Amino acid sequence: MGRFQMLLAYDGSAFYGYAKQPNLPSVEGALESALLKLGISSPILCAGRTDRGVHALCQVISFSTPLSLQTLQRHLPPKLPAPILCKGIQEVPLDFHPRFDATWRLYRYICTNIPPSPFLSRFIAHCAYGPLKLIQEALNLFVGTHDFKFFCKRETRHTQRTIHSTKVYQRVLYNHPCIVIAIRAPSFLRAQVRLMVSAALAHSLGKLSLEDLKAQIATRARHHHLLAPPQGLYLARVAYPPFAIT
C-alpha cells in the first residue's frame, strides 16, 4: 500500500465548497467518485477546506492505494470532472498529512472596481476600493501573531494565528484593471482571509478607521463584519518539506 499526493486546481464556482455535503456537488465528493472508478476507497485528506465559490490553484490531497504511481498518473486525471485539474501526482511517506505537514499557505484575492465581463465574474470579485497605499496600511496591521476571533466566520476555541506577510499590487487581467491581495500564513481560520480583505478595502474607502481596525485586531471591539465575495479568493500555494509537491 502506497501513499500518494495529488496537486489540484479547481473552479470553486462549480461546487458548494470542498467538504462533501449530502445531495450537493463538492470537490471532495468529486474526488471520491474519481478514485472509486479506479477501485480506490481510501479516505482523502486535504491541505484546507475551501468555502463555496472559493477557487484553488494549489490544493493538495493525499490518499492510499496499492496501485502504482504510473497507473495513477495515466488513469486518474481523466476521471476528474472538468472543473478539477490534476497538476501532479507523486508518492510520499506513509505518514504524510497535507494539512498538518504544510509549513505555510498563500491566498490571493483578485478584485476589480469595474463590473467584470460575464465570462470572468466567477473568477474576479467586483469590489469598491480606494488607494492601494491605504489598503496596504490596513493589511500591515495583520502581520504578526494576533487573536483573530473577530475575523472568522465560526467561533472556535483557538483563534490565535500568525500572519507572515501581506501585499497588495495591481494587475491587468483580460483587459480588466485589478488589484491582487496576497496573504501568507501557516494556517487560517474559516473565512479569515475574506474578512481581512473586506476590512482593508473598507479602510481604503474611509469606512473603517485605522484605530477601529486596530481595536478589532486587539479584540476590544468588532467594527467590521462584512465578508468579501468568495469568487475573488484563490488558494494559491501550499508549502511543504522537500519530499512534497509545491
Residues 165, 223, single domain; the answer is yes
Residue 72 resides in a domain: yes
The packing angle between helices 210-217 and 192-204, to 10°, is 160
Question: pLDDT (tens digit, 9 = 90+) per residue, 184-231?
Answer: 999 999 999 999 999 999 999 999 999 999 999 999 989 999 999 999
- Contact yes or no for 7/87 (Cβ under 8 A): yes
Residue 224's SS3 state is coil
Residue 11 sits in the same domain as residue 29 = yes
Identified catalytic residue from 51, 95, 101, 212: 51
Whether 95 is catalytic: no
Number of domains in the chain: 2
pLDDT tens, residue by residue, 103-134: 999 999 999 999 989 999 999 999 999 999 99
- Residue carrying the nine cell digits 467561533: 155
- Shared domain check, 34 and 135: no
Please indicate, yes or no, if residue 246 is contained in any of the structural domains.
no
Which grid coordinates are listed for 27? Answer: 470537490
On whether both 113 and 72 belong to a single domain, the answer is no
Note the pTM of the prediction, 2 decimals.
0.94
- Per the annotation, where are the binding residues? 107
Q: What range defines the domain where residue 185 resides?
A: 104-238
How far is residue 32's CA from residue 239's CA, in Å, rounded to a whole number?
Answer: 24
What's the CA gap between 216 and 16, in Å, rounded?
30
AA identity, residue 189? L
For residue 212, which phi and psi values (nearest 5 degrees)?
-65, -35
Annotated binding site for substrate: 107
Q: Are residues 120 and 83 in the same domain?
A: no
Domain endpoint, select from 85, 101, 117 = 101
**SS3 at position 136:** helix
